[in-house]
Amino acid sequence: MTLRALEEIKAQVRQNALLLQALAKKQLVQRGALSDEYNFPMKNEEDLKRVEDMLREKEQEKTLTSYLFTFGGSSAGDTIRRIMCHIISNQFAAQFNWLGCGNKRAFAALKLVSITRVRCP
C-alpha cells in the first residue's frame, strides 16, 4: 500500500514537472514579445516617451506590471534592481536621479516608478 502511494506521488511529480516546463516556455515567449513591444532596454528619450505614453492605458499598465514582476528576486530591492537592469540602459539611466537635482531628470516622476511600487513596499 505504501509503495503504491509512493508510485502515485512520483507520477504526480513527473506530471507537475512537465506542466512547469510548459509554463516556463510559454512565459519566455511572452517575455520576448513584451520586451520587443516596449523596446527594452530603453536607450533614449524617444523610447521613454513611448513607454510612458503606453502606460497611460490601464490595460498596458497591468500587462507591464505583471511582466516586470516575473523577473522576481530575493527581496524588494533585488526585484527592483533586476527590473531596472532590464528596462533601461546604463547610459540612459545616468541621465536620471531620484529627484532630478542638478542637470538630471527626476526618475521619481515617471509612470514606471508607480508600476514598481504596486507590489513592493
- For the four alpha carbons of 38, 113, 86 and 32, in that order, the dihedral sign comes to negative
Query: What is the structure's pLDDT at 110?
Result: 93
pLDDT at 118: 47
98: helix, strand or coil: coil
At 74-104, the pLDDT tens digits run 888 888 888 889 899 999 999 999 999 999 9
From first to last of its 121 residues, what are the pLDDT tens digits of the chain? 788 888 999 999 989 888 877 776 666 545 556 667 788 899 999 999 999 998 999 888 888 888 887 777 788 888 888 888 989 999 999 999 999 999 999 999 999 888 776 454 4
Backbone angles phi, psi at 42, to 5 degrees: -70, 135
| In the chain, where the domains are located | 1-38, 39-121
- Listed in order, strand segments (DSSP E) in 1-121 are 96-97, 105-106
d(CA 44, CA 41): 9
H or E segment and range at residue 13:
helix 2-38
C-alpha–C-alpha distance, residues 97 and 108, integer Å: 8
